[in-house]
Structure 1
């Protein structure tokens, strides 16, 4: 069994570099936040995520979904395994052995609440990239915007990619802002894309546009392993596999259509609860 041991220097561990982080494997993980050491946020957790796949993780708030992202990106000290099998691995390697900056460069996380900065659209997409990075080019910025379906809109603006947005600049809709945030994640060409409740704060029309973009990205694959955290039935249906969590543990997993056919199943109850709200 794996449990968490706090290690304040975990940011400085790991030296290995990898280019392909898949498959991803979680094995027998039990995790409690340091501030709530007596309460497990994730328990007895086992999950394999194949390369070039799409997995949607669902569950009520507090079920442990976002905690997994924090562990995957090593925001907390890693669980210590009592066996030779690493608790969290990428391409068969313990992620604790990976250079942490390299690890995080392979993963892009799109948050629930997108944020734009008072700068140009191009600068917002390229935010966080070193100016000398091979990804920091006008060509890559535009090709990424095309991939998420927002290039036509940007090009229609009088100043195009030089349009100032954010505080005091041109105002974008919620859906347009989220698409720019997805472009910001993809411009660095990650191998793992995490979408954390990306449609939950949008109106129905904007959410539909974002879902259409995500569906297109998943269909094209683009060498991405996609992890979606969502309550949206449409986002569940996009995935190859749906994982249902309750109180930090997996209670059900399978295809969306297969799980929805289970009488009294956890996913059906979750969906029915959402309908009732």
Structure 2
């Protein structure tokens, strides 16, 4: 295409020059202008696949923005649940449990019994197929999702840290603008998470880089920073999803002390893998096949010699 255009310009331009209608200077201006225009016009076609992809992506974005989710984060009984991707599998069946304000409640059971699903329903990542989740006798479906979640904090089994400073990672838990969070608030959260002394012992203190995914820190240190991040928002409800199961014995002891301190004065719901971490819970719910099979304190459930008792015995054998 480019060479064809150049040939055309030479042919037509030479006739204009021969007839004294254009000067040689004007001819070369026309040649250069036409040639570069032709090159750029040809390059446009190389972007056709990208234009098609952009149109398709824009269509998906507009469709997403126009959709009305069942759980709208911007708008203001017994529980049954199945995951939307696995409608044939019943995860929770007639689940009914009560958590009194300010108490420490533990959920115990075999893998797949519905413990983590219960936490996700409390966070309102999903809504139950039947039944309702209440907070202070108010259905959480009636509450603004964003405001509701400001009063909840989660500490999971695998803490998520991002490349940046310790201060940056802790401030991710703030519910107000970062510039409004005082140093005293950060230090209080770290003190309650049993990590303040360690941070202050570092040469750069809170400005220490944690590396990608917190690679510069040990598992226990990462977990305690995650606890500090959760406590920074001073949550009314603290959710612990097997927060110590991935740690060694020494780290577990330090982190468990931080969790015990964090649980004081607030409602705490913990999923427990190691039963030694929840023996002092105010109430333990033993969940089996998506429903509460037994409920009571550690001693009360042992006295029943039921499913929880067998679970304790199995864990004791696995340690030997």
**TM-score, normalised by the number of residues in structure 1:** 0.84
SS in 2 for 1:238: coil
Select the residue among 297, 307, 312 that pairs with 1:266: 307
Q: Is the 8 A contact 1:260 1:267 kept in 2?
A: yes
Could you tell me which runs of 5 or more consecutive residues in structure 1 were left unpaired when the two chains were aligned: 1-6, 17-26, 82-86
SS in 1 for 2:223: helix
Provide the C-alpha distance between the structure 2 equivalents of 1:181 and 1:33, rounded to a whole number of angstroms.
28
Deviates more, 1:123-132 or 1:181-190: 123-132
Tell me the CA shift for residue 246 of structure 1. Answer: 0.8
Deviations 1:176-213 (A, max 9, x none): 11010011111011111001001111011101111112
Q: 1:184 to 1:142 in 2, by over 3 A?
A: same
Tell me the CA shift for residue 78 of structure 1. Answer: 3.8
Structure number with the higher helix fraction is 2
Could you tell me which runs of 5 or more consecutive residues in structure 2 were left unpaired when the two chains were aligned: 1-66
CA RMSD of aligned residues (A): 2.2
Aligned residues: 252
Q: 1:168 to 1:257 in 2, by over 3 A?
A: closer
State the partner residue of 1:42.
92
Provide the C-alpha distance between the structure 1 equivalents of 2:166 and 2:116, rounded to a whole number of angstroms.
28
Provide the C-alpha distance between the structure 2 equivalents of 1:205 and 1:107, rounded to a whole number of angstroms.
28
Does 2:100 correspond to 1:12? Answer: no
Select the residue among 53, 77, 96 that pairs with 2:103: 53
Does 2:154 correspond to 1:109? Answer: yes
State the partner residue of 2:136.
91
Deviations 1:198-231 (A, max 9, x none): 111101110111111222333x32xx11000012
Deviations 1:39-82 (A, max 9, x none): 2101111111010111000101100000011111111134445x
Q: Is the 8 A contact 1:56 1:241 kept in 2?
A: yes
Tell me the CA shift for residue 276 of structure 1. Answer: 2.9
Structure number with the higher strand fraction is 1
